[in-house]
């Protein structure tokens, strides 16, 4: 038995020397992982995790942050500093942002600790399964990688005022998905069946990749799935009532989540028979934060959101699986014609300070409906006609009964 084990080890070492191997100590660069995990590397490289420290939107705000506060930002945007202490950003691994080896050397997560992550750097890579196909490194099964708590270490941001600047994890935790055991990974890292996790030229694996694209609000795919909208048009008291139901159908947390400058906007437009716009109403779903003096922090000031926010002024975002009912009344006016059209749209909006125009908008859901408002009275006439018909029938019945009795 022992002999076989030694033989197997020799064989493995023999193979691994032909391929890039991860470092025995410290962090290994993502490019090394990419030599074998080709597809995962490509996906990650295009994700916001890979650009968390180089993303111009981040840098724009980060560059304004006072030197002594920068360490706070780096703990999530260049998380290897938690181990290396490279707060001056001199090492290349620091510039890789939320890199492969940061995530795959996490040993445990305890959200009650100041430093929630515990690490075990080096030759062992931790992941979602037990594997004895070991080339390039050792493998270890890690349950925490399949749990929302793993993401929560960064996707729940608490500042010096103990205020939760971003609360994606707690929004999830309090919602229906947590109860059903549906984790962040189930939605954000779907399995890509048939795509092998290791380059087939290096090793034959039976396992398929789970997506490392980490799609979110920046992707149209997720956005259009996230919400649905239906409208009900009705006439009431010389006016048109438009009831819009907005549902957070697919997001596992509030809609929108993340940075409080993000908003979802419902716009309801009324068009007359000629197709001209005659009314428009809007509802904005977002969080509004205030500083310790109770002063509102504007959308543009992301820096103050992170560093100065102290309390919530309002939060009307749509919770997971919640349906919000919004009613709008448009009074009837002369000349609007017979047929009115209502166009309700839900869009997602976020600001990108470095781009022109500064505001990005994406449509999430839309419904267009028409109503004929001059059909009024038709309903009443129907009633009158039916009542008369019934009366006539009763009358005939009475006459026949009388005739029969005689």
The CB-of-85 to ligand HEC minimum distance in angstroms stands at 16
CA 272 to chain centroid, in Å, comes to: 36
HEC string of 34-79 equals HHHCHHHHHHHHCCCCCCCCCCHHHHHHHCCCCHHHHHHHHHHHCC
Rounded distance, CA 302 to CA 110, Å? Answer: 28
The CB-of-86 to ligand HEC minimum distance in angstroms stands at 15
The CB-of-296 to ligand HEC minimum distance in angstroms stands at 19
The CB-of-175 to ligand HEC minimum distance in angstroms stands at 8
The CB-of-53 to ligand HEC minimum distance in angstroms stands at 7
Rounded distance, CA 318 to CA 249, Å? Answer: 10
Q: Please spell the DSSP secondary structure of 70-104, one letter per residue.
A: HHHHHHHHSTTHHHH--TT--STTGGG-S-HHHHT
Query: Residue 205 or residue 241: which is nearer to ligand HEC going by CB?
Result: 205
Query: Residue 229 or residue 240: which is nearer to ligand HEC going by CB?
Result: 229
Query: Residue 145 or residue 242: which is nearer to ligand HEC going by CB?
Result: 145
Q: Please spell the DSSP secondary structure of 192-205, one letter per residue.
A: EEEEESS-TTT---
The CB-of-201 to ligand HEC minimum distance in angstroms stands at 10
The CB-of-298 to ligand HEC minimum distance in angstroms stands at 15
Rounded distance, CA 187 to CA 106, Å? Answer: 21
Closest CA to 325 of 279, 283, 372: 283
Query: Residue 125 or residue 344: which is nearer to ligand HEC going by CB?
Result: 125
* 396 sits in which H/E element: helix 378-405
Query: Residue 233 or residue 305: which is nearer to ligand HEC going by CB?
Result: 305
Query: Residue 208 or residue 372: which is nearer to ligand HEC going by CB?
Result: 208
Query: Residue 37 or residue 340: which is nearer to ligand HEC going by CB?
Result: 37
Phi/psi class of residue 275: alpha, beta or left (left: φ > 0; alpha: ψ in -120 to 50)?
left
Alpha-carbon distance values, 230 to 47, 128, 183, 217, 366 (Å): 33, 40, 28, 22, 8
Contacts of 354 (CB under 8 A, 6+ apart): 56, 57, 60
Rounded distance, CA 304 to CA 166, Å? Answer: 13
Query: Residue 106 or residue 270: which is nearer to ligand HEC going by CB?
Result: 106
- Tokens 């005022």 sit on residue: 161
The CB-of-241 to ligand HEC minimum distance in angstroms stands at 29
The CB-of-154 to ligand HEC minimum distance in angstroms stands at 3
Query: Residue 201 or residue 293: which is nearer to ligand HEC going by CB?
Result: 201
Rounded distance, CA 55 to CA 214, Å? Answer: 15
Rounded distance, CA 36 to CA 30, Å? Answer: 11
């Amino acid at each position: 038995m022992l002999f076989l084990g030694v033989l197997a080890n020799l064989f493995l070492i023999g193979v691994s020397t032909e391929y890039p191997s991860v470092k025995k100590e410290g962090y290994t660069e993502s490019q090394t992982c990419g030599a074998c995990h080709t597809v995962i590397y490509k996906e990650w490289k295009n994700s916001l995790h890979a650009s968390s420290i180089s993303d111009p939107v981040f840098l724009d705000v980060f560059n304004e942050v006072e030197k002594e506060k920068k360490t706070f930002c780096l703990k999530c945007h260049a998380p290897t500093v938690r181990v290396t202490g490279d707060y001056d950003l001199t090492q290349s691994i620091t510039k890789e942002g939320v890199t492969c080896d940061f995530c795959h050397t996490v040993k445990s997560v305890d959200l009650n600790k100041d430093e929630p992550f515990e690490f075990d750097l080096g030759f062992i890579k931790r992941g979602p399964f037990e594997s004895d196909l070991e080339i390039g490194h050792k493998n270890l099964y890690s349950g925490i990688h399949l749990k929302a708590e793993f993401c929560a270490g960064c996707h729940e941001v608490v500042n010096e005022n103990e205020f939760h600047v971003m609360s994606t994890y707690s929004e999830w935790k309090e919602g229906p998905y947590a109860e059903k055991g549906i984790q962040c990974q189930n939605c954000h890292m779907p399995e890509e069946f048939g795509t092998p996790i290791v380059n087939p030229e290096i090793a034959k694996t039976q396992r398929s990749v789970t997506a490392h694209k980490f799609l979110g609000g920046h992707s149209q795919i997720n956005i259009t799935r996230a919400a649905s909208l239906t409208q009900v048009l009705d006439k009431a008291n010389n006016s048109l009532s438009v009831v819009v139901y907005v549902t957070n159908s697919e997001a596992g947390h509030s809609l929108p989540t993340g940075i409080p400058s993000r908003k979802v906007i419902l716009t309801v437009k009324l068009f007359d028979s000629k197709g001209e716009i005659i009314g428009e109403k809007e509802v904005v779903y977002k969080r509004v934060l205030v500083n310790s003096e109770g002063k509102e922090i504007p959308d543009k000031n992301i820096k103050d959101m992170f560093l100065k926010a102290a309390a919530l002024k309002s939060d009307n975002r749509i919770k997971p699986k919640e349906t919000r009912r919004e009613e709008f009344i448009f009074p009837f006016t002369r000349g609007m014609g017979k047929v009115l059209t209502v166009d309700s749209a839900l869009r997602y909006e976020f600001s990108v300070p470095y781009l022109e125009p500064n505001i990005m908008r994406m449509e999430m859901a839309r419904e267009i409906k028409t109503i004929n408002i001059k059909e009024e009275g038709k309903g009443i006439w129907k009633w009158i006609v039916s009542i008369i018909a019934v009366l006539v029938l009763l009358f005939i019945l009475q006459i026949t009964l009388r005739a029969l009795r005689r």
